[in-house]
Amino acid sequence: APQLPDILSPEFAADPYPAYAVMREREPLIWHEATRSYIVSRYEDVERIFKDKKSEFTTDNYDWQLEPVHGRTILQMSGREHAVRRALVAPAFRGSDLREKFLPVIERNSRELVDTFRAAGSADIVSDYATRFPVNVIADMLGLDKADHARFHGWYTAVIAFLGNLAGDPDVTAAGERTRVEFADYMIPVIKERREKPGDDLLSTLCAAEVDGVRMSDEDIKAFCSLLLAAGGETTDKAIAGILANLLTHPEQLAAVRADRSLIPAAFAETLRYTPPVHMIMRQSAVDVEVSGGTIPAGATVTCLIGAANRDERRFSHPDRFDIFRDDLSTTSAFSAAADHLAFALGRHFCVGALLAKAEVETGVNHLLDAMPDLRLADGFDPVEQGVFTRGPQSLPVRFTPVTA
Ligand code: HEM
């Protein structure tokens, strides 16, 4: 049997897809010593673990990962505690709140960023746009002072570095722990203020939310906002960079999308399948579970490889080809798309921000295409992805003829 590369090795980080293919084919359930977890790579198995119809899995494994930087968040919760928390936060991310309050925030923040480079004729989609837009949107949705956005961005950077600190760099760990304190020192007084003087913002909505007589404490709300930095910032950042990278490297599909913007949802869904921002999600088994002919013992950590499942040839035809016209992926809404690709997970923890992310990416792609009519990659540039747990283009230098409006 071919040697499986270590998922923490540089070869794997450079290109995980060949290793994913070997795992799916020969070792669909494999014990991985370095992460001390069982790795699952086939679509059918990852889908089943996410759906978790028989409540065989928990997210208790998130405690050690998230607690030091966020405190207790919705992701660590299970059962009734999770269901109540979910009901408290979810309405703010769909329906009239999304349409009426937050779509204008998305539009405004995207335009502000595009205006910073539209006259230049060149930009880096990653550093000038993608890494800024979703974090600005979250800060603005929360109703934070514009003057504080730079600090908010600093916390975002520290949190992302903390969560991605595979090598265990002690400086990164210390900065992450400091961020938890600074973030609380900043947010708790703002939360108290909004309780007294509510506005039209997300923070006020979270303060007022009530389900079965349960409301969120200041600490609960602060932890949720902290989670949004990673859950809503880094993921959407990589999705925007990803859709642009995929289209720019497939110019005929870019031309089709430019000519018919109703293809953007298909390009988004296919990007989430082909290059998902989150490649790995962990769960903990509550009981012994049979998967792909093997047994995961109770109490084990399980790594679900979204990046491998989304390229499973048992589920998708020509899975290694980016094809916005494929007919085995539904694209009409974030929710139906989720039944096909696993980038938002499935089941109880299915991404609460899926519709928000979709609105951000669709708005962003439209604005970028409008501002850059002959958008192309800088000469000779070939996009390189980086990251293991989360993954996306490192940089994306582009050229275009500036339009002076
Ligand atoms: C959950 C991916 C955008 C907020 C998740 C999960 C995934 C995911 C895979 C499930 C985690 C698990 O089951 O362990 C993504 C991707 C995004 C995105 C790929 C962008 C394309 C957003 C946005 C927000 C958000 C914009 C909000 C601002 C959340 C929250 C959860 C979550 C709060 C936890 C839900 C729960 O535990 O019930 N996301 N996400 N996400 N996402 Fe997203």
For 345-380, the pLDDT digits (tens) are 999 999 999 999 999 999 999 999 999 989 999 999
Q: Is there an atom of ligand 1 within 6 Å of 66 CB?
A: no
Report the relative pairing of strands 29-32 and 397-399 from DSSP bridges: unpaired
Work out the widest C-alpha separation in the chain, in whole angstroms. Answer: 65
Would residue 377 count as lying in a domain? no
Q: How many domains does the chain have?
A: 1
Q: Is there an atom of ligand 1 within 6 Å of 239 CB?
A: yes
Would residue 394 count as lying in a domain? no
Q: Is there an atom of ligand 1 within 6 Å of 319 CB?
A: no
Report pLDDT for 35.
85
Report pLDDT for 334.
54
* Residue 222 main-chain phi, psi, to 5 deg: -60, -45
Atom of ligand 1 nearest to the CA of 239: 21
Would residue 307 count as lying in a domain? yes
Q: Is there an atom of ligand 1 within 6 Å of 280 CB?
A: no
> How far away, in angstroms, is 76 Cα from ligand 1 center?
13
Domain holding 263, by residue range, is 10-372
pTM for this prediction: 0.95
For residue 214, list its beta bridge partners: 211
Q: Can you tell me which residue has the tokens 């800088």? A: 378
The counts of H helices and E strands in the chain are 18, 12
Mutation to probe ligand 1, out of 86, 351, 365 (largest number of atoms < 8 A from CB): 351
Would residue 397 count as lying in a domain? no
Nearest-5° Cα angle at 378, 376 to 383 = 90
Report pLDDT for 382.
95
Supply 179's token pair: 């961020």
How many Å apart are CA 336 and CA 279, to the nearest integer? 20
How many Å apart are CA 373 and CA 360, to the nearest integer? 20
SS3 374: coil
How many Å apart are CA 16 and CA 217, to the nearest integer? 41
Q: Is there an atom of ligand 1 within 6 Å of 98 CB?
A: no
Would residue 381 count as lying in a domain? no
Supply 374's token pair: 């002959």
Q: Is there an atom of ligand 1 within 6 Å of 338 CB?
A: no
Q: Is there an atom of ligand 1 within 6 Å of 304 CB?
A: no
Report pLDDT for 337.
47
> How far away, in angstroms, is 380 Cα from ligand 1 center?
35
How many Å apart are CA 232 and CA 160, to the nearest integer? 11
Residues 89 and 206: beta-carbon distance below 8 Å: yes
Burial class (CB in 10 A: 0-12, 13-18, 19+), 211: middle
Which CATH number fits the domain that encloses residue 129? 1.10.630.10
SS3 284: strand
In this structure, the number of other CB atoms found within 10 A of the CB of residue 229 comes to 26
Would residue 167 count as lying in a domain? yes
> How far away, in angstroms, is 349 Cα from ligand 1 center?
8
Burial class (CB in 10 A: 0-12, 13-18, 19+), 332: exposed
> How far away, in angstroms, is 379 Cα from ligand 1 center?
35
| Distant-in-sequence, close-in-space partners of 387: CB < 8 Å, separation ≥ 6 | 13, 164, 238, 279
Report pLDDT for 2.
53
Report pLDDT for 272.
96
Atom of ligand 1 nearest to the CA of 350: 10
DSSP code of residue 330: -
Percent of the chain surpassing pLDDT 90: 87
Instruction: Provide the ipTM.
Output: 0.99
Residue stretches of the chain with pLDDT short of 50:
337
HSE, side-chain direction, 13 A CA sphere, residue 138? 25
Report pLDDT for 236.
97
Atom of ligand 1 nearest to the CA of 59: 14
Would residue 385 count as lying in a domain? no
Would residue 380 count as lying in a domain? no
Q: Is there an atom of ligand 1 within 6 Å of 88 CB?
A: no
Q: Is there an atom of ligand 1 within 6 Å of 344 CB?
A: yes
Q: Is there an atom of ligand 1 within 6 Å of 235 CB?
A: yes
> How far away, in angstroms, is 285 Cα from ligand 1 center?
21
